[in-house]
Chains A and B, each alone.
Chain A
Amino acid sequence: MYDMKALYEAESVQDAIRLRLEHPEAQIIAGGSDVLVQMREGKRSGKELISIYMIDALRGVSLDEEENLRIGSLTSFSHITRDPLIQKYCNVLGEAVDQVGSPQIRNIGTIGGNTCNGVTSADSASTLHAYEAIVELTGKDGVRRIPIHDFYIRAGQVDIRPDEIQTAILIPKASYENTFGHYIKYGMRNAMEIATLGCSVNVRLSADRGTIQRCRIAYGVAGPVPMRCPTAEATANGQRPSGELAGRFARAVIDDINPRDSWRASKAFRQHIAVEMAKRALTRAVELAGGEMA
């Protein structure tokens, strides 16, 4: 039995917006795999909750009129992984969220919740950053769309206004078209794990597959919020894929990332594996794109 002051159940997006305005202190709960755990720990005990879990309109993956991938915020991780559009256009996202916690957590956990709680270790976040995803928020005045990079303000805080809920995440066609990605999660065990570090790399190769036209890399847990690595990306862009390049590319992430010391892992350790993971993820992404590492 949760120590909850009150529960307000939204039946639609508009209903959720109304409840948010009526109960400004209330916490939104989607799948609850974070909120309920915190409530039990005492961190959020005695609080009011607005449940949006029953709003089925926020579930599912589709292509919008501009062929951007549109993922409803309440789509569960397991449904993202199994979705044919995801598998076709952004398989790496499906693979990344297939490494969240456990099968049961992947059935309850939602991509909206994973991003809205603002934690750097979210398995979806590095891939969404590496694909320059757009976050869609709906409020009393309509829809607002912002780049995922801007959505994360600081650890645990994201840009949601008091009348808004997150309604979708979009992956622009320009990001996923002809692009192949790979995600590596580093954990201390192979399931039921929070990432010690997550690394997502995607590449677009030239028609002859001899050049990396565009490379993107993002990390989770390499800083207080998920982050891209511009220095490393610049190292790889326009270059011929090779083992030597992978090494330089990987070494360059050190200039971009800013992991910290914590009891979960030291900064030095996170830096070390970040480099190794960048190398392996780039290599794999190039292979998936049909390229060869010279």
Chain B
Amino acid sequence: MSQYKLIHCNINGKDVEKMVDVRASLTDMLRNEYHLTSVKKGCEVGECGACNVLINGEAFNSCIYLAVWAEGKRIRTLEGLMSPDGELSDIQQAFIDETAIQCGFCTPGFIMTAAEILESGKLYTDDELRKLLSGHLCRCTGYENIFRAVKKTMYRRLGKEIDF
């Protein structure tokens, strides 16, 4: 009765393959098969953004993405942002330094979207940044310090002076 499929993909830079239940969401696969528990479940219908991961460089809510669609894709989770020797990336450090973290539950999803924004190499206006980050709900921070962390890192990466 159960239907399984062998799924090959690249997760956080490593080629992997596993037999996956075709009924699984990508969240299920990442959490249960690969123990990547930074992928959080807050609604399971694509409304909160806690399960957000990057697939081929774009942000997706993994809860409403079938695991079988991961075939051949490059997937990145928060676990993949830290360097192999345990050093945090600049955006992770900015979340700490700007007090952009409280309960921490929305944090992984937010940081992955921020990673996509920053890797675009573009300088966004405040309104554009707010829109790009609007796929994540947070009840602790009022988004204020998250905004500051992303904006500061964007300016720093582009070597520009920040204007707040």
Q: Which A residues fall within an 8 A CB radius of B?
A: 1-4, 6-7, 9, 29, 32-33, 36-37, 40, 51, 53-54, 78, 101-105, 107-108, 190-192
Among candidates B28, B113, B135, B137, residue contacting A1 with C-beta atoms closer than 8 Å: B28
Given the known interface contacts A78-B58, A102-B134, A104-B52, the answer about A192 and B65 at a Cβ–Cβ threshold of 8 Å is no
Among candidates A4, A33, A101, A191, residue contacting B23 with C-beta atoms closer than 8 Å: A4
Given the known interface contacts A32-B64, A108-B61, the answer about A191 and B3 at a Cβ–Cβ threshold of 8 Å is no
**Which one of B46, B113, B137 has the highest number of Cβ atoms from chain A below 10 Å of its Cβ?**
B46
The smallest C-beta distance from B75 to any residue of chain A, in angstroms, reads 13
The residue in chain A whose Cβ has the minimal distance to the Cβ of B117 is: A103
The smallest C-beta distance from A77 to any residue of chain B, in angstroms, reads 12
Q: Which B residues fall within an 8 A CB radius of A?
A: 3, 21-25, 28, 44-47, 49, 52, 58-61, 64-66, 68-69, 71, 113, 131-137
Among candidates A1, A54, A192, residue contacting B47 with C-beta atoms closer than 8 Å: A192
Q: Are A1 and B23 in contact (CB under 8 A)?
A: yes
Known: A1-B25, A101-B135. 17 other contacts (CB 8 A): A2-B23, A2-B66, A3-B23, A4-B22, A4-B23, A33-B46, A36-B45, A37-B64, A51-B68, A102-B134, A102-B136, A103-B133, A103-B135, A104-B59, A107-B59, A108-B65, A191-B134
Q: Are A51 and B69 in contact (CB under 8 A)?
A: yes
The smallest C-beta distance from A188 to any residue of chain B, in angstroms, reads 14
Main SS of the interface on chain A? mixed
Given the known interface contacts A104-B49, A105-B61, the answer about A2 and B135 at a Cβ–Cβ threshold of 8 Å is no
12 sample A-B contacts, Cβ–Cβ < 8 Å, listed by A number: A1-B21, A2-B24, A6-B3, A33-B64, A51-B66, A101-B46, A102-B136, A103-B134, A103-B135, A105-B61, A191-B131, A192-B47
